[in-house]
A and B are shown apart, each in its own frame.
Chain A
Amino acid sequence: MKKRALKYLKGQCLMALATSSPRGEPHCSAMLYVVDDDFNFYFVTREKTRKAEHLAQNPEVALTIGFESPMNVQARGTVRMIEDEALQADLFVKLADAGSAVKDFWPPVLRIEAGQYLLYRMEPRWVRVLDLEDAKVNEAEAPLYEIIP
Chain B
Amino acid sequence: MEKGKCKVLVIEEDLFLANIYRAKLEQENFEVRIAHGGGQGLQAFDEFSPDIVLAEIVLAGTDGFSLLEELRGKGGRPFQFVFLTKLGEREDVTRGMQLGVDAYFIKTQVTFKEVVVKLKELAACL
Mark A residues whose CB is within 8 Å of B: 44, 88-89, 92-93, 95-97, 99-100, 104, 106-107, 109-110, 117
- Of B13-21, B49-57, B71-79, B96-104, which stretch is located at the interface? B13-21
Q: Which residue of A lies closest to B113 (CB)?
A: A104
Interface residue SS majority, chain B: helix
The smallest beta-carbon distance between B62 and chain A, in angstroms, is 22
- Of B22-30, B38-46, B87-95, which stretch is located at the interface? B22-30
Question: B16–A110 contact, CB under 8 A?
Answer: yes
Q: Which of B16, B22, B112 contacts A44 (CB 8 A)?
A: B16
**Residues of the B chain whose Cβ atoms lie less than 8 Å from the Cβ of A97:** 19, 23
Question: A99–B23 contact, CB under 8 A?
Answer: yes
Mark B residues whose CB is within 8 Å of A: 15-17, 19-20, 22-24, 27, 111-113
**Residues of the A chain whose Cβ atoms lie less than 8 Å from the Cβ of B23:** 96-97, 99-100
The smallest beta-carbon distance between A57 and chain B, in angstroms, is 24
**Residues of the B chain whose Cβ atoms lie less than 8 Å from the Cβ of A44:** 16
A110 to B108, CA, bound (A): 10
A107 to B20, CA, bound (A): 9
Question: A93–B20 contact, CB under 8 A?
Answer: no
Q: Which residue of B lies closest to A100 (CB)?
A: B23
A139 to B1, CA, bound (A): 63
Question: B15–A92 contact, CB under 8 A?
Answer: yes
Q: Which residue of A lies closest to B19 (CB)?
A: A96
Beyond the given pairs A92-B15, A96-B20, A106-B111, 19 more chain A to chain B contacts, judged by CB atoms under 8 angstroms and listed by A's residue number, are A88-B15, A92-B19, A93-B19, A95-B19, A96-B16, A96-B19, A96-B22, A96-B23, A97-B19, A99-B23, A100-B20, A100-B23, A100-B24, A106-B20, A106-B112, A109-B16, A110-B16, A110-B20, A117-B15
The smallest beta-carbon distance between B110 and chain A, in angstroms, is 11
The smallest beta-carbon distance between B12 and chain A, in angstroms, is 11
A96 to B111, CA, bound (A): 16
**Residues of the B chain whose Cβ atoms lie less than 8 Å from the Cβ of A95:** 16, 19
